Amino acid sequence: DTEVTQTPKHLVMGMTNKKSLKCEQHMGHRAMYWYKQKAKKPPELMFVYSYEKLSINESVPSRFSPECPNSSLLNLHLHALQPEDSALYLCASSQAAQGHYGYTFGSGTRLTVV
């Protein structure tokens, strides 16, 4: 299995909703990541889980909170989002904790906040 699986593929949520994005990999990768990608822009790093330690991009607002239940799963909990948070949310994993061998990306969750 050489895939990163993300669910759901599409999500529409209101600004008062709470929802979660899920990500799963079975490649034995040691690090997992959440990225946000706006249209015609490169992915922007939000969070890194590497060896069970969380690293945060300080510019990410607290309405996004990651959770790593085990080494194969990574969730992103969403609460009180704003319309400008609408984007493609990508999960990725890497064999090496430093990402030296490249990342494997999932197909993403396309999020629309209304």
Partner 1 sequence: QKEVEQDPGPLSVPEGAIVSLNCTYSNSAFQYFMWYRQYSRKGPELLMYTYSSGNKEDGRFTAQVDKSSKYISLFIRDSQPSDSATYLCAIVETSGSRLTFGEGTQLTVNP
Residues 46, 76, 106, 111: which binds partner 1 (CB under 8 A)?
Answer: 106
18-45 per-residue burial string, b: 16 or more CB within 10 A, e: under 16: ebebbbbbeeebbbbbbbbbeeeeebeb
Closer residue to partner 1 (CB): 85 or 94? 94
Closer residue to partner 1 (CB): 80 or 105? 105
Report the distance separating Cα 2 and Cα 63, nearest Å. 31
Tell me how far, at minimum, the Cβ of 113 lies from partner 1, in Å.
18
Residues 45-84: x where in contact with partner 1 by CB under 8 A, - otherwise, as a string: x--x-x----x-----------------------------
Region near partner 1 per CB under 8 A, out of 13-21, 60-68, 74-82, 92-100 = 92-100
Please report whether residue 97 would count as binding partner 1 according to CB under 8 A: yes
Footprint of partner 1 on this chain (CB under 8 A)?
4, 6, 31, 40-43, 45, 48, 50, 55, 88, 90, 92, 94, 97-108, 110
